[in-house]
């Protein structure tokens, strides 16, 4: 399987992706734990059906030391006992923020208040920005049908 459009062959797409990746670097250097950021990117990618990003973020998380058991349970986080209350709040936020078309009000006040119990304002900004960014990447990859399976941790720098 090949992508419909090789993103790095198009000057416009390559530049756009480069700017998105730069935005991601800002978020990586925040006080939100890397493990939480991995959970967010993986869960959004699962919801959006982005095989490329599921592959990438799973491999990057394992490479960074994340427990594969936790990654295997991300899709069933509500029933899993391996996530902290803060991680659960972030996972609820990513689900509601990713599925905004499924609910007339978008993210509920309850989900926001729960996240605000665990994260300060700057960290909330990181969570929201990470959710927006991964959704953008998911959409790019799903639209062009970027294939999954060949990603190697760190391959994009």
101 within domain boundaries: yes
91 within domain boundaries: yes
Angle of the 11-28 helix axis to the 34-48 helix axis, nearest 10:
140
27 within domain boundaries: no
22 within domain boundaries: no
67 within domain boundaries: yes
Structure tokens, 32: 């939100």
How many Å from the N-terminal Cα to the C-terminal Cα in the chain?
24
Q: How far apart are CA 32 and CA 114, in angstroms?
A: 16
Residue with tokens 């659960």: 88
Q: Is residue 133 within 8 Å of 23, Cβ to Cβ?
A: yes
How many CB atoms sit inside 10 A of residue 33's CB?
14
Q: What is the pLDDT of residue 144?
A: 94
Q: How far apart are CA 113 and CA 150, in angstroms?
A: 39
**Total-model pTM:** 0.94
Q: In this prediction, what percent of the chain has a pLDDT beyond 70? A: 99
Q: What is the residue range of 83's domain?
A: 33-144
79, 86, 84, 91: which is closest to 39 by C-alpha? 91
Domain count, the chain: 1
74 within domain boundaries: yes
Mean per-residue pLDDT, 110-132: 98
Residue 120: give its domain's CATH number.
1.20.1290.10
Query: What confidence tens digit (pLDDT) does each residue in 14-61 have?
Result: 999 999 999 999 998 899 999 999 999 999 999 999 999 999 999 999
**Per residue in 72-104, is it b (16+ CB within 10 Å) or e — as a string?**
ebbeebeebeebeebbbbbbbbbbbbbeeeeee
Structure tokens, 45: 């990618």
9 within domain boundaries: no
Averaged pLDDT of the chain: 94
55 within domain boundaries: yes
């Amino acid at each position: 399987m090949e992508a419909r459009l090789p993103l790095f062959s198009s000057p416009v797409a390559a530049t756009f992706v480069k700017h998105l990746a730069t935005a991601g670097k800002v978020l990586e250097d925040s006080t939100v734990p890397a493990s939480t950021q991995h959970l967010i990117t993986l869960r959004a990618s699962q919801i959006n059906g982005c095989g490329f990003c599921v592959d990438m973020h799973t491999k990057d998380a394992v490479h960074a030391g994340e427990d594969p058991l936790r990654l295997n349970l991300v899709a069933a986080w509500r029933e899993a006992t391996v996530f902290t209350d803060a991680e659960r709040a972030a996972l609820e936020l990513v689900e509601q923020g990713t599925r905004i078309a499924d609910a007339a009000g978008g993210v509920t006040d309850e989900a926001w208040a729960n996240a605000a119990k665990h994260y300060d304002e700057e960290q909330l900004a990181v969570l929201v920005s990470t959710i927006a960014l991964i959704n953008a990447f998911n959409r790019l990859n799903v639209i062009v049908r970027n294939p999954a399976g060949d990603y190697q941790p760190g391959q994009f720098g």
